[in-house]
Structure 1
Amino acid sequence: MYRKILITTDGSAVSKHTACEGVKFAQQMGAEVLALYVAPEYQYPVYVEIIPPTYPSEEEYLVQMQRVGGDHLAPILKAAEAAGLEHRGMVAFADGAAQKIVDVAGAEHCDLIFMGSHGRSGWGQLLLGSVTNKVLSHTQKPVLVHRLVKAPGT
């Protein structure tokens, strides 16, 4: 049914748990996994006349965020490897994570987007996460929203 599944993570514990559930789902489908971490774009300090010497350059920031993204993607890729699935990780940069998720899903010809109902910015169980809600509003691809009933480790 699904041949390529985009699994997103924001690096939070909840998101990592959800992403590993996405790998289990991909294994049931025999689907390829594309794991995605969306990092914020580099921001120049706009309210200072001189950039402080400790402020990272754009190149330093990009390298650092690639490393951070790789760290967040590692558990997903490890789970996909253990499940015997074809897999790949991607770190993308955008100020709007939801639109970047939708764009990557289209560009990479993913059949399904698998994401959590809440991530780093979730407000408990009250509302659907803002990124998830925006993805649902902006894509025509199927989105499987995984709802975590209890926090990881409980």
Structure 2
Amino acid sequence: MYRKILITTDGSAVSQHTACAGVKFAQQMGAEVLALFVAPEYQYPVYVEIIPPSYPSEEEYVAQMRRLGEEYMGKIMRSAENSGLKHACTTAFSDTAALKIVDVAEQEGCDLIFMGSHGRSGWGQLLLGSVTNKVLSHTTKPVLVHRLINEPAAA
């Protein structure tokens, strides 16, 4: 049914838990896994005429975010490899994570986007805004939302 599944992560305990569930689902489907970490765009210091020496350069920031993304996606890659699934990972940069997730799914030919939800409702959901809700409203692809009722323990 699904041949290529995009699994997103932000490195949180919730997204790591979701990613493990995503790999298990991909294994059941016999699908390829594409892991994605969306890092914020580099921000230049505002209202500063001279960039402080301790402020990272754009190249340093990009390299650091790529390392962080590889760390976050490492568990997904190991799990997919142990499950015998074809797998890849990518770090993308955008200040609108939801739109980047939709773009990557489209560009990479993914059949399904697998992502998590914190299970918040009412004011918590309204005030926080949800990347998952934004993805749902901007894509025509199927999205499987793995909802967690309780926060998993940090690993």
Q: Which amino acid aligns with 1:139?
A: T
Corresponding position: 1:57 with 2:57 = yes
RMSD of aligned residue pairs (Cα, Å): 1.4
Partner of 1:3: 3
Structure 2: give runs of 5+ residues left out of the alignment: none
Deviation for aligned residue 1:150: 2.4
Partner of 1:121: none
Q: Deviations over 1:21-74 (max 9, x none)?
A: 000000000000000000000000121111100000000000000000100000
Partner of 2:75: 75
Q: What's the TM-score, normalizing by structure 1?
A: 0.93
2: CA distance, partners of 1:15 / 1:22: 10
Deviation for aligned residue 1:96: 0.5
Partner of 1:92: 92
Q: Deviations over 1:98-129 (max 9, x none)?
A: 000000000000000000013xxxxx622385
Residues 13, 153 of structure 2: 8 Å contact kept: no
Residues 33, 88 of structure 2: 8 Å contact kept: yes
Partner of 1:117: 117
Aligned length, in residue pairs: 149
1: CA distance, partners of 2:146 / 2:106: 21
Aligned identity (percent) is 74
Partner of 2:27: 27
Q: Which runs of 4+ in 1 moved over 4 A?
A: none
1: CA distance, partners of 2:53 / 2:7: 37
Q: What's the TM-score, normalizing by structure 2?
A: 0.92
